[in-house]
Amino acid sequence: MAPAILYLSQIVGKPVYDPENRPLGLLDELVVRLGGPFPPVTGLAVRLGGIGKSVASRATFLHWADVAAVSADGIRLSTARVNVAPFHRRQGEILLQEDLLDQQVMDTHGRKLVRVNDVQLVAFNPSGSDLRLAGIDVGLRGLLRRLEAERLCRWLTSHTSLDIPDRVVPWEEIGPLAVGGPEAEGEAGTGPGAGLGAGPGTGPGAGPRAKPGGGMHLAHEKLAVLHPADVADMVAQMSAPERVAVIGSMDAEKAAEALGELDPEMSADVLEDLPTESAAEILAELPPDEAADALAELPSEKADELLDTLDAKDAAAVRHLMSFDEDEAGGMMTTEYVALPGDLTAQQTIDRLRRLAPPAEEIHYVYVVDSRSTLIGILPLRDLIVSPPDTKLSAIVAGIAGGAGGPGEVVHITAQAPKDEVIRTIDKYNLLALPVTDDSGRLIGVITVDDALAAALPPEPGRWLRGVVR
């Protein structure tokens, strides 16, 4: 027999009966203990006599072990003894109505934020007493069900061409939850959401602070497997406190990757709202150009405070980038690239690259420089790999067009060049990265094609509204 499916909206407000089928009150809330893909219901809150509207200190809490049967008609208990002690949320527990309904949660499979219209429950035994959280309904059908208009929904789908499908996201695809509060106690379970509400913590990787008196925030272990751009898209739709909770719950490296995909203004807001220690750890993981863009949006005192947490070399690089206008080449460049002297051989260069193991975005080209850091050539990796091992880099680049004109001509741009010239140059020579030099020809940075593309594209529609949701 397939497990029976119920929805929270179908049973909340329904009668709770004693073993003799005498009504005790109305079901007000279900309590779920997080852990695994199907977290079990562990308790219920009852309004005795149907009085009251929410789970409060006077609400009656019953352990789920006292439940004999569950259906859309109500709940029948196995005991007539009722403990009228006040309800206290324990560590690792969530209240389905209070904590989930109408909340935005992360669908980590669909890579988007979704609103919870209803909660799907599955009964794993015939009586329904083994009731578990199975998923969340994010569709119109779930909303109509809550409005007690499901009969209308069925009529519409059967008598018209209108299709109103179920849109249930499995619980295991929802971002894990951090729960708990001042009164939380006991150990958390395992699996999605477990062990994430032990306390507010500090720094990247610490769980976000729970709501006073208990409650729920999204935690984000599953975000580690998503592309930073997908994480950023979801984070950008959140309110400022939610963004801070999300970014603050991630480790510093992953948080920096996501932050780097946000608008500089939004990145700055997050850094400003995070505790200084957390913001500093994330800032240290940001590439210099992204750090400079974000810090430029902060008040000068806050920017200086965060810059002082970086080591001297990194702080100097970021300050140097901040000195350029954002519409100049200097304001678009990064100082992370691979530059090597021309007297190295091809084999020595390959060995050096193995030791350096630079990130993929830094190794589009090897920039060949002389003893004064003057740019003398751009070496694509293909040319490096196919060159004889003993050939010096200076000799290799001497025979390469450098992207323009002919041998000896090296495509580059000065730091004061306008943004439009940067974009035209990259487009004209089909470059993956464009070197930037000072007035004397010394290499000081590079502009990657993705940064040039971002500068060329118009602002994303609605992006300017993101900062309003605070």
> Where is average pLDDT lowest: 158-167, 189-198, 337-346, 372-381?
189-198
For the stretch 462-465, contacts whose Cβ atoms lie closer than 8 Å and that sit 24 or more positions apart, written own/partner, are 463/236, 463/263
Residue 360 has pLDDT above 60, yes or no: yes
pLDDT, average across residues 63-71: 92
**Residue whose pair of structure tokens reads 């678009």 in the numeric block:** 332
Instruction: State yes or no: pLDDT of 275 exceeds 90.
Output: yes
Question: Strand, coil or helix: what is 399?
Answer: coil
Band (pLDDT 50/70/90 cuts) for residue 199 is very low
Of 209, 136, 213, the closest CA to residue 174 belongs to 136
* Per-residue pLDDT tens digits for 285-318: 999 999 999 999 999 999 999 999 999 999 999 9
Task: For residues 290 and 265, give the distance between their C-alpha atoms in angstroms, rounded to a whole number.
Answer: 11
Secondary structure (DSSP) of 51-93:
--SS--TTPEEEEGGGEEEEETTEEEES-S----PPP---TTE
Per-residue confidence (pLDDT) for residue 166, from 0 to 100: 73
- From residue 111, how far is each of 84, 107, 169, 194 by CA, in Å? 43, 6, 12, 22
For residues 362 and 163, the model is more confident at: 362
Contact 247, 274 (CB under 8 A): yes
d(CA 90, CA 272): 33
pLDDT, average across residues 420-446: 94
Lowest mean pLDDT among 51-60, 242-251, 417-426: 51-60
Average pLDDT, the chain: 80
- Side chain identity at residue 80, one-letter code: A
CB-based burial, 281-316: b 16+ in 10 Å, e otherwise = bbbbbbbbbbbbbbbbbbeeebbeebbeebeeebbe
Report helix, strand or coil for 264.
helix
pLDDT above 70 for 247: yes
Q: Is the pLDDT of residue 238 over 90?
A: no
Q: Binning pLDDT at 50, 70 and 90, where does residue 1 land?
A: low
Classified as helix, coil or strand, 249 is helix
134-143, 285-294, 460-469, range with the lowest pLDDT:
460-469
392 vs 453: CA distance, rounded Å: 34
In whole angstroms, what is the distance from residue 227 CA to residue 315 CA? 28
**Mean pLDDT throughout 155-174?**
76
Low-confidence winner among 58-72, 375-389, 456-470 (lowest mean pLDDT): 456-470
Residue 336: is its pLDDT beyond 80?
yes
